[in-house]
Amino acid sequence: MQNKGLIKLFAFLFGLVSIYQLSYTFITNKVENEAEAFAISRIADTSEGYLSEREALEARYLDSIGHNSQFGYTTYDEAKKKELNKGLDLKGGINVTLQISVKDILKGLANNTKNPVFNKALADADLASKSSDDRYLDLFFEAFDKIKGDTKLASPDIFFTKSLSDEIQTMDADDATVKRIIETKVDESIVSAFEVLRERIDGFGVTQPNIQREGNSGRILVELPGVRDISRAQDLLSSTAQLEFWETYSSSNQSISNFLISANEKLKTLIDTATVETPVKEESELDSLLSDVAQDSLDLASQVNPLLDLIAGPGSQHAVAKFAIKDTAKVGAYLRMPQIQRLIPSDIQFIKFLWERPSTEDTEVVDLYALKSNREGVPRISGDVVSDARADFDQFSKPAVSMTMNTRGAKEWEDLTGDAYNNKTGIAIVLDNKVYTAPGVSTGPISGGRSEITGTFTVNETKDISNVLRAGKLPASAEIIQSEIVGPSLGQEAIDSGFRSFLIAMTVVLVWMVFYYGRAGLFADIALLLNILLIFGVLTSLSAVLTLPGIAGIVLTIGMSVDANVLIFERIKEELAKGKGKSQAISDGFGNALSSILDANITTGLTALILFVFGSGPIKGFATTLLIGILTSLFTAIFITRLLVDWYISGKTRRLDFSTNLTKNLFTGINIDFLIKRKIAYIFSLVLVGIGIFSLATNGLQEGVDFIGGRSYQVRFEKEVNPSEIASELNEVFGSGTKVKEFGDANQIKITTPYKVDVEGIAVDNEIQDKLYTALQKYLPSGISYDDFVVGSADKSIGILQSVKVGPTIADDIKNNAFLAILGSLAVVFLYILFRFRKWQFSLGAVTAVFHDVLIVLGIFSLTSNIMPFNMEIDQAFIAAILTVIGYSLNDTVVVFDRIREIVSEKGWKSGENINSAVNSTLGRTLNTSMTTLVVLLTIFVFGGESLRGFMFAMIIGVIVGTYSSVFIATPVMFDTIKKKILSGNADKIVK
């Protein structure tokens, strides 16, 4: 091997850089362990709320020492930015996919036009989007074209507005031109939303957040690992941040009093026959404090005054009255009734009612405010005039938000405060349809554009509000269409189980290599350990995210790294058997094995690359580690092992055998006629595939929420529970379709429900969790609160440990991407093998074997899904397993094909005899590698945690079937398609 010095230098520097990169992770772990020990020593377990107190003390400790030097070259704060990123499944936190509403953007661009054609096109696009994967904008254009008649997009009451006049310069512009302009504007709005969200996240203070825009779909992926306050994070991401300033009516306004009295009298005549409907969410809804309240039939015959009797007291300054929070939906429904709306006096005909924001979770009554609105329903001042905002404290040292306005805002603020001063009214400061405060003006108009929002805030709330205002409002609503929330205790369990399986698998492989190959196996082990170091170093350097499937990918890389060394050592043993000298045999062994190693790793790498492109979240993490592992294992197996072997044999008295006394003659002298047994193999495989297809047609597969949409919850109890009993009870709560099954231990279950799967919004998520808490309360320990039950609570061992939500639209996209990933991998591999072997028969054999393997894995999953004691759902992790099976099966097949190519190029086809010879010569490598990989996979299956068992089961089946198919399917199919030419002597010789 040439340039040994350069390789040594590169390996040394590569290893040194990896150790340096990983040192930051060791430093952060050390400091955080010290902080945890400090908090435990100061706060006893007997203290009330000791977990949250310890968490706060840890944070203060880390803040105080964040800038202190660590080991003389970094600080904790710097190290935290450079540590190995742990994914959601290892650290806990929240991962969401937000859908920016293109409909809202279009309505905004059209100035909320009332044009019937435009609004009908929006309604049709809404309907079409429920069953189509096309972009909403394309669906809108298609719907508009169908119904437009003579109406043009450039119509003055659609898109030819003042804000678009620079782009759409004439109302005669054709629709194609306007479509291009609108497409650009929509894209700009989505980019704006992305930037707004990024600014908000930066201000939220999360370590190592991840935010990505998903193509031009209007979707934005946000991952916040380590977040504990889940509800705060959800509010931050989905809040549109519509800051508005309104002038209030006086609380003593006689017209409002007369209206409420008239409304009360009218309701007396309506309550026996009317059903008040809870309206669809809209700008002015009064029940924004209570979401998705069930429709109530109002039977209030026992009440003398249906509306006035609900008043809980006089309102605060500038408020109409106080009402109980439980009655806000009912009051709002009353005031929206058409019969009541018609009673509003003409002098207040555009009145807008909004509720006060509750000051705490324990608040029972809130104020109702009456705001001075107009025909368009727009506020006097909107939040876009705010140029800066920051968390502050008011004159009484209470948390507040200080704002500075731009020049236009300062002028409008002076006018508004002047009117409020003259009219003795208040100024309602409204954020997302909640009145945060409504102060009066006592000193006349306020100039300069500086103002302050006060109220019953916490410090975190003022930080979030100022962060949102400073970043700006979202150009459209952002709905959470997919989410995954992992509790921190589950993340720690995943780390423990993942690394336990990693260490066990590593130990087994290291021992096996020494047992099988002796001292040569020890050299392979050293290269393998360096390989693991390099993988973690590269992951840290690239700021890649380590996930639980990623750990599985690293463990799988161990098997692949061993495979390369097995190929090399087996070839060296063959060269030694030919009578070559030690040095020459080693040189030829490495050289002859190189082609097989490269082909096998490239095919596996191609499937991993496709998985990286089409996967998301933890699955992308699996693909990342697999790709990195392929590159590092090639380097260590080919170069590092060679350096160690050459170094050792350079000693004149040293002897290096590539076997031990127990393994010396294994797999030697084997001469099985595989081709003559191929018909038996065909029949056997056809029976297996046929049974699998029959089961798929009759039983189907258990599709997870990834593919069908819905919500799933992993819930742990103190004692064992009966899943069937719980399923029966939950089906009464959520309707049919809710599934409950044991998930791991007998005290843990997985609940999957399609309940309100097509309804977006945090309110629905909270409603379902509340119903779960109520329904499961009898199975929970006494005294456990709702906050303790829901996901996100720190260090808990009971309650919801993980929740996943997938909307129906994104579920269809995930399913389509999975289908494309499998087809794409097959096509790419077919073309690669065709390119390498220059004969379509080889490609056909390989792809047939892969189809065979995939169908058998699917069939076994279909047959056993109801009897296996672990999760057998078909989800993204399963697709990752299928693609890995494809890669592994091709790995085996390519090694066999490579040996066939080598032998046939030297000796010819010989009526197929040399094909048998090639298969027999690779049998030792095939079985050795397969057994090693199976041991690794079985280790992860047993010790890697419940969430990986279905994933590993698919791969275990795939490795067994893939080993079989490379010998009994791929090679025979290749032979049968070229047999006539071989027997007639017309088959071309394969060129190496």
pLDDT tens, 953-989? 888 898 899 889 888 998 899 888 887 766 666 555 5
Instruction: Identify the residue with better confidence: 904 or 71.
Output: 71
The CA distance from 708 to 727, in Å, is 19
- Tell whether the model's pLDDT for residue 404 goes beyond 90: no
The tally of CA atoms less than 13 A away on the side-chain side of residue 953 is 21
Q: Which of 162-166, 307-311, 386-390 reaches the highest mean pLDDT?
A: 307-311
pLDDT at 712 over 50: yes
Distance CA 167, CA 181 (A): 7
Share of the chain above pLDDT 70, in %: 86
**Spatial distance between the Cα atoms of 774 and 779, rounded to a whole number of angstroms:** 10
Query: What letter would DSSP give residue 703?
Result: B
Residue pLDDT, tens place only, 113-151: 888 888 899 988 888 887 776 788 888 888 988 888 888
What is the distance between the alpha carbons of residues 988 and 839, in angstroms, rounded to a whole number?
A: 10
Q: What is the mean pLDDT of the segment spanning 616-636?
A: 82
Candidates 631, 629, 620, 485; CA nearest to 549 is: 620
Q: Bridge partners of 952?
A: none
The predicted pLDDT at position 578 comes to 82
Whether 473 and 786 have beta carbons less than 8 Å apart is answered as: no
pLDDT class for 251, splitting at 50, 70, 90?
confident
pTM of the model: 0.68
Decide if 871 contacts 743 (C-beta within 8 A): yes
Q: What region does 834 belong to: left with phi over 0, alpha with psi -120 to 50, or beta?
A: alpha
| Poorest-pLDDT segment among 224-233, 345-354, 817-826, 854-863 | 224-233
pLDDT of residue 467: 62
Residue 49, classified by CB atoms within 10 Å of its CB into exposed (0-12), middle (13-18) or buried (19+), is exposed
pLDDT at 948: 75
Residues 469, 471, 477, 483, CA torsion sign: negative
Most confident of 322-331, 774-783, 981-990: 322-331
Question: How does 257-277 read in b/e, with b if 16+ C-beta sit within 10 Å?
Answer: eebbebbbebbeebbeeeebe
Q: Residue 227 above 90 pLDDT?
A: no
The single-letter code of the amino acid at 907 is: K
Q: Tokens 């899904």 sit at which residue?
A: 865
Q: What do you get for the CA distance between the two ends of the chain, in Å?
A: 22
Is the pLDDT at 517 greater than 50, yes or no?
A: yes
| Range with the poorest average pLDDT among 442-446, 494-498, 518-522, 931-935 | 494-498
CA pair distance 652, 663, nearest whole angstrom: 25
Q: Does 283 score more than 60 pLDDT?
A: no
Instruction: Identify which has the larger pLDDT, 869 or 844.
Output: 844
pLDDT tens digits for 461-500?
677 667 656 655 566 677 777 777 776 666 667 777 777 8
804: which strand partners? 484, 712
Concatenated DSSP letters of 281-318: P-TT-TTTTS-SPPPEE---TT-S-TTGGGEEEE-STT
Cα separation, 348 vs 255, in Å, equals: 7
* Residue keyed to tokens 């350990």: 529
- For residues 356 and 318, is the Cβ–Cβ distance under 8 A? no
Q: What pLDDT does residue 686 have?
A: 93
Alpha helices in 636-760, H assignment, sequence order: 641-649, 678-698, 705-708, 723-734
Give residues with Cβ within 8 angstroms of 283, minimum separation 6: 377, 433
The rounded percent of the chain whose pLDDT value lies above 90 is 5
Average pLDDT, the chain: 79
Whole-angstrom distance, CA of residue 742 vs CA of residue 715:
10
Q: Which residue has the tokens 């495979």?
A: 563
Beta bridge partners of 545: 85
pLDDT over threshold 80, residue 164: no
Half-sphere exposure of 833 (CA within 13 A, CB side): 32
pLDDT tens for residues 337-375? 888 988 999 888 889 999 887 866 667 888 999 999 888
CA 584 to chain centre: 52
CA distances to 252, 545, 875 from 262, rounded to whole Å, are 16, 63, 58
